[in-house]
Amino acid sequence: MNFPIDEIRKDFPILSRPVNGRPLVYFDNGATAQTPRQVVEAMDRVYYEYNSNIHRGIHTLSNLSTEAFEAAREKVRDFINAAESRQIIFTRGTTEAINLVAHSFGAAFMQPGDALVVSEMEHHSNIVPWQLLAERMQLELKVLPVLDNGELDLAALPALLDERTRLLAITHISNVLGTINPVKDIVELAHSKGVKVLIDGAQAIHHTRVDVAALDCDFYVFSGHKMYGPTGTGVLYGKAELLEAMPPWQGGGEMIQQVRFSGSTYNELPYKFEAGTPDYVGVVGLGAAVDYLQQLGMVAIGAYEKELFAYAVERLEGLGDLIFYGTAAQRGSLLSFLPEGIHPFDAGTLLDKMGIAVRTGHHCAQPLMDRFGIPGTVRASFGLYNTKSEVDALAEGLLKVRQLFA
């Protein structure tokens, strides 16, 4: 396909650096993707040209900074096809966005005895906040199982969505298995039972076109650093009627209208949930990351990555001594596996000596590891700048790992 991979790689200077005397092969995109120069330059311009706190000043620099911050909000709104920019809440990442919903939605819509549902494949960030809420409010936390092939046991879902269930929190794409969940169908089923849905889109937002209007989800959350943007930035999308009914999570500047010792009144959306000085420089960088993805086109990115993933599956399965976890019919973006007889930490360490960066361990998904009876896996996760020659390097590296342990 005609995807300008050579030009794209020039946008990421880090890809040209050596690691341990070898060319860097970066397959840890599921943890953090690299950042193109366009994003870094956009953040530099803030510091060099108009750095000033937002929303509170009447001087020129403050106005320029505010305009850039709110322009980024509009870019995100357009990127995910939200109806209004006030539905876009900036956070420090997916984790903070989920915690915000857990605290605020729980306070507004849940009572002791109510229930929540999560799946067995969730990242800890989409488990622990709900556990804390369940403990605090005396709720039941129910778990949707995962099948042996890494797909959700959707046949078990209707029974979990009973009259006590208020919210289902589900990942769009598994950070361990690569399973692409049928979230639109899941949302439709949940809504037919009167259950709200939060989708963790951290592993999906940069791989596929996300349309929150088409999904009809109640909340969608993601992080900037997964989508080629800066760390410490993220987004909570929520339906306006829910966000309006939810109380503030944190108190401070910006989220108020008036403060009196007799009581305070709170700001309108989205500012009600953005207490204090935000990382406005990072948000401008996040907006630049959205521009970068929009310029390349999510359809083109998805097609290129699908081809790369298929090549990686064929190449690594051809090695013959890898045990793969996650063989769902719909999957992509990453491969989790174990070299037979070799601890994943040992394999990852040796690959690093060859300049190949992969992630090893439980990937913040210990319940899923327990489900499969393993301590962890080696995970190779792909980005838009990865190439088939890098997949070849990984395959050759795994052969060398096998030889060293033989």
88 strand-pairing partners:
237
Residue 306 vs residues 54, 246, 292, 380, 386: alpha-carbon distances, Å = 40, 39, 19, 15, 12
Q: What ranges in 143-260 are assigned the alpha helix state H?
A: 157-160, 183-192, 212-215, 240-245
Say if residues 29 and 383 touch (Cβ distance below 8 Å): yes
Both tokens of 262, joined, read 């007799």
330: DSSP letter: S
Query: Of 5, 296, 364, 395, which is the active-site residue?
Result: 364
Say if residues 227 and 293 touch (Cβ distance below 8 Å): yes
Supply the DSSP string of 149-207, one letter for each residue. Answer: TS-B-GGGHHHHS-TTEEEEEEESB-TTT-BB--HHHHHHHHHHTT-EEEEE-TTTTTT
The answer to whether 217 is a known catalytic residue is no
SS3 99: helix
Supply the DSSP string of 347-358, one letter for each residue. Answer: HHHHHHHTTEE-
- Identity at 207, one-letter amino acid code: H
The CA-based angle 203-136-183, given to 5 degrees, is: 25
Number of residues assigned to the chain: 406
Both tokens of 2, joined, read 């005609």
CA torsion through residues 175, 176, 182, 183, sign: negative
Say if residues 286 and 233 touch (Cβ distance below 8 Å): yes
Note if the bond before 270 is cis, omega within 30 degrees.
yes
Q: What ranges in 182-255 are assigned the alpha helix state H?
A: 183-192, 212-215, 240-245
SS3 152: strand
SS3 261: coil
Burial class for 227, CB neighbours closer than 10 Å (0-12, 13-18, 19+): buried
> Active-site residues: which are they?
364
